[in-house]
Amino acid sequence: MAELYEAMRFPQQSGRLDRSMRQFSQLLKATSLPHRVAEDKGELVLWVYHQEHIAVCDDLYRRFVAGEFDRLDEEIAAAALNKSHFQWRHLFATPITLLICMLSMLGFALVYLELWPLISMLSFQGLGLQDGNLIVNQKYQVWQLLKQGQVWRLFTPMFLHFNAMHIAFNLVLFVFFARQIEKKEGAFNLLSDILIIALISNLGQFWFSSGQLFGGLSGVVYGLMAYCWLLNILRKQLVYQVPQGLMLVSIAMMALSFFGLFSLFGMAIANWAHLLGLVAGLGLAMIRK
């Protein structure tokens, strides 16, 4: 049986305190922090499974009482009352996140419909036609395209996704981290983070890869995840929700991919985009700590 640590203790009473404790417990669930609330000698006790989470709970409760989570409290209360129906305002509260998702779905549609001239315009390398076959341009040709002013190619590969699983996995994680950052730091900071990470990850993938066509938001996702994870550590508080173990699992998957595990199953993974996106995210966190 897992060991429990007492984090907080409150006198049990009906009314506002009970309701606040329930909402605070829901907040902890929303942040993926495992815990239990139990009655003990006429008091409500909040138990956690990791000793270091005691300080996290103290900090979160202080911010909870100060009203920093008012918007989240409303969403929690609505969910608890089964009123968490879809509302358009939730989408438009984070316009940059919404915009990137829409452009990614558009990019996936171009691939699905095999609209190669448009795909060529969005890809990093650009595509050529040789003996009726599509080929990616060589490096010297790419530099010529960039010199001609086609600088959007440095960023737009993130909108290209090559199958349904590819875009679904990327968008789920992207929305999870991007919405948090946009709500906390604003649209400008999120957009700048996305562009910086996309630039570094795309350049790295192009430079170190063997010339294959690449695309997707995964480099950006790695960067945003690393940014949120490291910022929590540097500020010694739970600034952003990062599911336990996600960072470790992601790095392990990236390492296995570098060793060629997924290529055995015919999967082409943009390893350098993942690695350099992660490094870029760590660097941004260190700058903004």
Q: Do residues 276 and 219 touch, judged by C-beta distance below 8 A?
A: yes
Give 53's contacts (C-beta < 8 A, 6+ positions apart).
5, 7, 33, 35
Measured in whole angstroms, how far is the alpha carbon of residue 57 from the centre of its chain?
23
Catalytic one of 104, 201, 218, 250: 218
Domain boundaries, the chain: 5-85, 92-288
Task: For residue range 203-252, list pLDDT tens digits in order.
Answer: 999 998 867 889 999 999 999 999 999 999 998 888 888 887 899 999 99
Q: Say yes or no: do domains 5-85 and 92-288 share a fold.
A: no
Q: Is the pLDDT of residue 7 over 60?
A: yes
Over residues 13-37, the mean pLDDT reads 73
159 contacts: CB under 8 Å, gap ≥ 6: 103, 104, 106, 107, 122, 215, 217
Q: Name the CATH code of domain 92-288 (choices 3.40.50.300, 1.20.1540.10, 3.30.750.80, 1.10.287.70).
A: 1.20.1540.10
Q: Which two tokens stand for residue 222?
A: 């790695």
pTM, to two decimals? 0.71
Q: Is 77 exposed, middle or buried (0-12, 13-18, 19+ CB in 10 A)?
A: middle
Neighbouring residues of 214: CB distance < 8 A, sequence distance ≥ 6: 124, 157, 205, 206, 268, 270, 273
Q: Is 75 a residue whose pLDDT tops 60?
A: no
Q: Mark whether 274 is an active-site residue.
A: yes
CATH ID of 5-85, from 3.30.70, 3.40.1350, 3.30.110, 1.25.40:
3.30.70
Catalytic-role residue among 53, 161, 166, 274: 274
